[in-house]
Structure 1
Amino acid sequence: MRCDAPRYVRRSFAALMVLAALVFAQGFAPRAEAQAAQPPQAALTPAGRLDADKATVDRIEAALGRADVSDSTLQRFRADLDPVSADIQGLVTDLAPKLDAAKARLDQLGPKPTDKAATEAADVTAERAAQEKLYSDLDSTLKRAKVLGVQAGQMSDSIAARRRALFARSVLERSSSLLSPQLWIAAAQDLPSDVRAIVYLGQDWWGGVVGKTEPWKLTTVAVLLGGLTIAFWPLLRLTRRFKQRRLDAKPTRLRKAAFGFWVALVTMAVPSLLAAAAFGVLNSAELLTFRLQPIAHSIEIGILVVSAMAGLARALLAPGRPNWRLIKISDASARNLYNLTLTIATIVAAFEVLAVLNDAIAAALPTAVAVRGIGVLLVAVAMAQTLHRIDRIVGEMDQQAAPQTDARNWSGPARILGWMVATVLGATLLTGYVALGSFLTRQIVYLSGLFTLLYLLMILADEGVTALFQPKTRLGRTFVITAGLRRESLDQLAILLSGALRVALLVTAALLVLAPWRIGSGDMVGTIEAAFFGFSVGDVTISISTIAVAVVLFILGIAITRALQRWLDVTYLPHTHLDTGLRNSIKTSFGYLGVVMAFALAAGYLGLSFEKVTYVAGALSVGIGFGLQSVVSNFVSGLIILWERAIRVGDWIVVGAEEGFVRRINVRSTEIETFDRATVIVPNSNLMTGVVKNWVRGDRVGRINLPITVGLAAKPEKMREMLIGIAKDHDHVLKIPSPTVLFSAYAGDQMTFNLICFVDDIESGKRTTSDLLFSIHARLVEDGIIVAPGPAILSSPALEKAVDALLADRDSSVRRARTA
């Protein structure tokens, strides 16, 4: 089957659009149903809307007073509370300007006359009364809305905290160790009753559902299920045709990612769709009882997980197809990792089904712990065996002096991480934290699939958008013709779009990573709002876990800022017409903004509003005034240098006795690289208050002034023509302003001429000066022009001897006088 890149790209992007549309419809369908079920808010007055919102808040608050609220119930409460909070915020936004307008009208009417003799028109009095009533109603409604908004926000925080507490309690619940004999004795004792419960479950289903169902319905279901089973193998063979790849092909990175994404979809589609169809048939025929529906749903989810992991692993590792592999590893390692992925996914899916079955039959606690423990043990053993094989393969490659690849840079840390995970899984079984081990095994499958999908989508976002926006493509030609964009502008648009997609993918992935830990997108948005607009009621309680999460959020913010800074510096800004100094200012300012936003995000999660941060800053101002004055001065000076741009990165400056190029403008100091390749660190305050010579402040044009001294025999006109001709012949000398020669001195037996010319770049001035001097000297020698001699020196050997004798006689006379 011939593989051409455009077809795979179109298929992959079409599949992406379909998936996005399905997710969009799935996400908004329940919301639309909820909105349809509620009365239209627009038909209610503000007070009526507030009463309805208060009823919802009071109902949820009363329900939260119970101690036995499950996580799913809390999640439903949060879903009910979010629209209420949005409606309250909308009310506050709508009522605030109306209240200000009513206050302005009252101010124009003025206060009531206090003098009894003063009279006022009746219509003015009536208008004031109406405006006062309107103002009072709006004020009371706005205050109620604000109080209710605070109550709803506190309840949202309480729901999030309780969800995290429930999650921690369920995951960190300690049970018996897998090596405990009591666990296996109790499980063996409960095994007969658990088997009988499974048998009763099957008999109940057969007698209660199948035995009472009409024969024609059972026949129809059997025919449909048989048809689906028979269709599985032809569909599987058909998908293999879509996954064929040439072994001798040399695909680009875009073709690898696009075809890998397509392979993942095709591999996942057939088993998942057939399983969904089969369980859909059973549900339509009402052949699944209430107790069997969770089991059927877990089997359907398990098939989806296994097929998805198989497709993603095949897309990334391409076992047996090294030319189509996205990461550089050996064939044996790729095959072992692919088998490990399928093994772990199958084990996790199978034991999740067994866990749901245990819940359905109300199995005893020792049985549930033993089942989950065995699943965790199998995953740990599979990981250890695969890592041992990979270690042996890498060792054999090292002994055979195999060529080093880029994979060696990350394979070592990846193997160490794998051994650490396997060790942690074993430790959870030995210490009795089986629930934690089971959660970690699910996270292994979840995060592996998520990061593989993110890797594929990042490549598609980078390479795909760049390929689509090439001037030779249809889309690129459309932009060039209709919008009149140049090639550079088209490249910038592609880079910006791919960067936006990367940011969206990273943010989405971060939210999906935090989702199993009961940190949702609503909590993150609330954290950001609390950081910038929130206020606290009462004292703020800070725990170690809250501080740890805040530190992690701050580190993630800094990491994203550094990544975006690098993207700006390496990818986007080089495609602009901005000079190096302005690019550095933009990158540095973006870094400062990112640090502030990361700090605000972490502070918001801690519950610190800007008001409290201001208090802390006021307390620190005393210390700043005494000990950090120079640091603050250098920091402010650095900001002024960045935005005033009197000194830019790449400028040639002279500071005191130091001279060189500006390489970096940091928070505290500026780095200057001298011509001797030494780095000079200059505090920013010195650059602000001291005298700095900038050779390239206005432009990079440089002036050269060469004094040439010759004897009186030279002709001045000929010297001028010769020097101007030599300057004009040099490539670096500018034609405009044209070179000129000045007759600057005429003294004694010599004449001095000054050759003045300009170069387009001051950095080439020294080299150009040297070239001109070489050429001038050669012409002088060639034309026989005598260079003016230096000052005359008189030398006489006899005179030198007489002077030495006189000095010796004087020294002897001085010594005799001292001894006398």
Structure 2
Amino acid sequence: MTIRRIWLALGRPAIFWAVAGAFLVTAAALGNAARAESSAPPEPPSLESIKSSLDEIEAGVDREDVTAEMLAGFRQTLNATTDSLRGKIEDLEPRANELHQRLDQLGPAPAKDAPPESADVANERADLTKQFSEVDGDLKQARVLSLRAEQLSDRVSQRRHALYAQELFARSPSVLNPSFWMDTLRAFPIELRAEHAVVQTWLSERGDGLRWTAGLLIVAAIIALAIGLSRWWFPRLIAHPTDTRSAKAWVALWVFIWYAARTPLAAAAALLAFDALDLLTSRVEEIAEGLVAGIAAASFSYGVARGLFAPREPQRRLLQEDDRTALCFHNHLVWSARALGVLVVSQVVHKTLFAPLIITVATNALFAAITAGFLTHLVIRLRQIKKDRGEALVAAAWAHPVGLLVAVFIALALIAGYAGLAAFVALRVIVAAAAIGALYLLLVITQTLFSTIGEQTAKGQTLAADLGISAGTLGFGAAVLSAAIRVILILASFLVIIGPWEVSTADLFDTVRNIPFGFKIGEIHVSFEAVFTAVLVLFLLLIVTRIVQRWLETELLPRTKLEPSLQLSIVTIFGYVGAITAIGLALSGLGFDLQKVALIAGALSVGIGFGLQSVVSNFVCGLILLTERPIRVGDSIVVKGEEGWVRRVRVRATEIETFDRASVIIPNSEFITGVVKNWTRANTLGRIVIKVGVAYDSDPVQVREILLDIASAHPQIVQSPPPGVFLLEFGEGALEFELRCVVADVEKALSVRSDLNYAIIKRFREADIEIPHQQRELRWRAEEPDKDRTGPFSWSFRPSGDGGESRKL
């Protein structure tokens, strides 16, 4: 008990100081190694040596007896050559451009009949011309060699794939043939002697006790750190309630990451420490790298199994499976992946020690047979679970038939003598199971992540407020980003599962390494780095344009004396100029000549003129409206029978708001080619006309004075020009007067007209002035009955002498 208490009290500090000391030793060793490497940088090869190396590789690729190891060596040489040529091209291009610009500044040499130039200028031109010719020649040769290296790299890859296909479908002895296993046992001592020789050489060449002590201390510290994190830190990390699917998904993700990365990172750290301390020979280092790769393969599948199935923690299980089914899938995936890890390590050992070919074939056969056994056992266990439960299993619907078919195929391939094909199928099955499991987990995490920042959630609204955008915009961007991530995950899993037959670590590293160098479109070389830079420049310039627009719209222009419509025009035109500038700079960054782009745009304008004539017409008319400003925001206009206020002037169309509060979108071409009545173009004044009739016995002068008094008393009626009253005509039943006046705000003309009408009625009644209305008179008259009528009376209705009417029926 005393020892246990002392350990509990000192265990964690001891681990901490051990880890700290290990990291200090590792850092010192790595620093010394880095300084030793940087003290003597290798000299880059010349173009002639590179050309000779490419000639040797081209001759070797076409040989009939070329092997996969030779092709792998060719590929490494080509990778180094390509890197060297790219460095030379990057160094020569600026020098060539600089010399060319200096020659352009000097200009061509004068003609024979022209006055001679100074000797200094002539000597400078000759010197620059010579330098430019040398640099340009080296640059062209480097570009040609770089293209040749790329072509040879493609040929090497094609030849490697062809050799791998031949090995894959090569016949070997059947696993049922006893002589095959006897030959394997007889060849096995050869590899053991090679292993013994490698170990003896390793210990004799790297037998420094001090460095071994430091290396073992570092390994012990790494193991202690991994154990300490696994026991104390990681359980606290995932100690959260898992009552929701979102919580289960996050816990499953952390479990997957931890178990997939813990052991490989520890092994890689130990390998780096041993390599920094110079404790590994070349062959031992190759075997150690293979060991790390095997551990990584087994750990990845283990992390997927623990994250998805959680055999000992059903409360956080992400898949809806019972304990027995989850445990069954977990165990079979873990042990199959461990078999794959052993295969990876074994193949690296066989390759490093130059083991006999029959041992490699036997290893492949054993791996395939073990995988087929796991699949068969999985099918039997699922059938037993289904029988015990008495109902169908969700997972068994696809796992049972697929596992059975693959197991039968592998068994038949082994019996027929296709051990390579059987091992390949077994490998793809395990990779597919791990990749699909990881894909499912990452898809669930993606859905969970973006569902928490939706426009309807509190986190989404808070994030939108922090970013200064609307919640709807954030939701749309989150939906697009979520879809893009899911597509990328699915494509990556698809490529991993059904990728090329022969994908080695070197191929993968070469692909990743060549990503920044891009591809070609015609004569233009487009790199992914240039694409990323162009997109970044476009995005940043658009953001800057938007910020400056907002500043102009809200800060600067409102403080000037410019009209609001002119302010809007300035802001809009600045936005278009900024967008065009951003697009031009992005295209220039990609290597596109803007003059050629302008020529292409000019050629396309012909087709655009026919196909999108109305759109282009509205666009041009929109620019005219923004520059000439025949209408402005806030104007009261009448166009195409629609009357209202101008609310927005855009490039394609203009929005007006009618007096009914309805928005009407009118194409801009209507404002340029049609007739537009603008009530407020020069000012807001507007004239109103009110007609009124009075009885013939009224005093016209009194009527005139009353109307002028009413108009002059209204606050919205301007006095310059003054109101006017006119006696226009003598009507049938009244004297026809007309009151004409100008209102200060034409938008209030209707209310002013109503006010004047009310005032006229009131004042006329006070002055006993009658406003006559049309009268009708109905008369009865007896007549002789018509011949065609049977009744004794008839009706008549006609106008009377005093303006009435009489009607006859």
What is the TM-score normalised by the length of structure 1?
Answer: 0.48
Task: Return the index of the structure with the highest Cα Rg.
Answer: 2
* Higher RCO (CA 8 Å, separation ≥ 6 residues): 1
What is the TM-score normalised by the length of structure 2?
Answer: 0.49
